[in-house]
C-alpha cells in the first residue's frame, strides 16, 4: 500500500508542509522591521512602556509566527504530542540547515558584473545587500531557534492539559490558551538571547519590546480563533467522522 493511500498520512504531510514553510519564511523575513500603524494607514501610536518610548514597529516575522503556533495546535489535536515534537525538532534542523546554506552562499565569490546589476535601482553593491539581508547575526539565529523550540514544547504541554479538562469541547480554549502562553514565552526568550546577551540591551528595553510584540501576537491569536474551527471542520470532513474521532482519541493519550 502506498503511504499516500491513507488519509491521515496525507493530512500529516500537508500540515507539516505548511508548518515548516511558515516557520522557515518567518525566520528569513524577520530581518525587516515594519510599522504596523503605517501599514494600516494610521498615524504612529507613541506610548511609554517600562520607561521606553514605544510604537508598534514589529519584525515581519511576527506576521507568520501566530500561524505557526495555530498549526501546532491543529497538529496536536489530531497527532498528539509525539507528532508536534517530531515536527518541531525536524523544523529546527531544517532551519539550521537553511542558515548554513545561506551562509555558504553569502561567502561564494560574486561575479564582478553581478555586483552592480541593480545599481540603477539604488543598490550599488548587490553582494553587500545580499549579505545584509540574509546574513542574520549568530545571536539572533540562536535566539529565534531556542525560542521556537521552547515555545513549541510549552504549547504542547498546555494544550494537552487543557484538553484533559475540556475533552472534545471548547476547542477555542485549548487552542488559543496554549498559543497565548507559548507566544508569551517565545516573545521574551528570543529577545533575551538575541539582544540582551547578544547586544547588551537593557532589561527595560527587552521587557518593553517583548510586551509590544506580545500585544500584537495576543490580538492575532484571538482574531484567528474562528480559523481554527474552520480548519477542524474541513479536516473532519476530509477524514470522515469515524477516523477523525479515532485520531483525536489516540492523540490525547
222-245 pLDDT, tens digit each: 888 888 888 889 999 999 989 988
The residues that bridge with 52 in the sheet, in sequence order, are 49
pLDDT at 134: 86
Pick the more confident residue, 15 or 33: 15
85 pLDDT tier (thresholds 50, 70, 90): very high
pLDDT at 195: 85
pLDDT at 115: 94
* Most confident by average pLDDT, 3-7, 163-167, 188-192: 188-192
Q: Are 88 and 152 in contact (CB under 8 A)?
A: yes
pLDDT at 50: 78
pLDDT at 253: 74
Residue 94 has pLDDT above 90, yes or no: yes
Query: SS3 for 118?
Result: coil
Range in 24-38, 46-60, 112-126, 198-212 with the lowest mean pLDDT: 46-60
Residue 22 has pLDDT above 70, yes or no: yes
162 pLDDT tier (thresholds 50, 70, 90): confident
Range in 19-33, 47-61, 139-153, 225-239 with the lowest mean pLDDT: 47-61
Residues 6+ apart with CB under 8 A from 37: 43, 44, 45, 55, 56
Q: Percent of the chain at pLDDT above 70?
A: 100
Average pLDDT along the chain: 87
> What sign for the dihedral angle of Cα 228, 188, 55, 45?
positive
CA 215 to chain centroid: 15
Query: SS3 for 35?
Result: strand
Pick the more confident residue, 50 or 38: 38
pLDDT at 179: 83
Q: What's the pTM?
A: 0.87
pLDDT at 1: 62
CA dist 74 → 117, 172, 195, 240 (Å): 45, 11, 32, 16
How far apart are alpha carbons 241 and 26 in whole angstroms?
34
The grid coordinates of residue 85 equal: 515534537
Q: Are 73 and 155 in contact (CB under 8 A)?
A: yes
DSSP 46-64: -EEETTEEE--EEEGGGGT
Pick the more confident residue, 175 or 206: 206
CB atoms closer than 10 angstroms to residue 122: 7
Q: Percent of the chain at pLDDT above 90?
A: 35
Average confidence (pLDDT) over 94-120: 93
pLDDT at 89: 94
Amino acid at each position: 500500500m502506498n503511504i499516500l493511500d491513507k488519509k491521515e498520512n496525507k493530512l500529516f504531510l500537508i500540515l507539516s508542509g505548511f508548518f515548516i514553510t511558515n516557520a522557515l519564511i518567518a525566520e528569513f523575513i524577520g530581518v525587516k522591521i515594519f510599522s504596523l500603524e503605517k501599514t494600516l494607514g494610521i498615524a504612529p501610536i507613541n506610548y511609554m512602556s517600562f520607561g521606553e518610548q514605544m510604537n508598534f514597529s514589529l519584525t515581519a516575522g511576527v506576521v507568520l509566527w501566530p500561524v505557526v503556533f495555530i498549526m501546532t495546535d491543529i497538529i496536536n489535536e489530531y497527532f498528539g504530542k509525539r507528532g508536534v515534537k517530531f515536527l518541531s525538532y525536524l523544523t529546527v534542523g531544517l532551519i539550521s540547515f537553511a542558515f548554513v546554506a545561506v551562509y555558504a552562499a553569502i561567502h561564494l565569490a560574486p561575479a564582478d558584473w553581478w555586483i552592480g546589476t541593480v545599481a540603477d535601482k539604488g543598490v550599488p553593491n548587490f553582494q553587500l545587500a545580499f549579505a545584509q539581508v540574509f546574513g542574520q547575526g549568530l545571536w539572533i539565529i540562536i535566539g529565534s531557534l531556542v525560542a521556537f523550540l521552547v515555545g513549541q514544547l510549552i504549547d504542547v504541554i498546555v494544550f494537552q492539559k487543557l484538553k484533559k479538562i475540556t475533552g472534545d469541547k471548547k476547542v477555542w480554549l485549548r487552542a488559543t490558551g496554549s498559543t497565548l502562553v507559548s507566544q508569551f514565552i517565545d516573545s521574551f526568550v528570543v529577545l533575551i538571547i538575541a539582544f540582551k546577551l547578544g547586544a547588551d540591551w537593557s532589561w527595560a528595553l527587552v521587557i518593553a519590546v517583548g510586551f509590544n510584540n506580545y500585544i500584537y501576537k495576543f490580538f492575532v491569536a484571538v482574531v484567528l480563533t474562528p480559523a481554527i474551527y474552520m480548519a477542524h471542520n474541513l479536516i473532519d470532513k476530509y477524514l470522515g467522522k469515524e477516523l477523525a474521532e479515532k485520531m483525536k482519541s489516540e492523540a490525547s493519550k
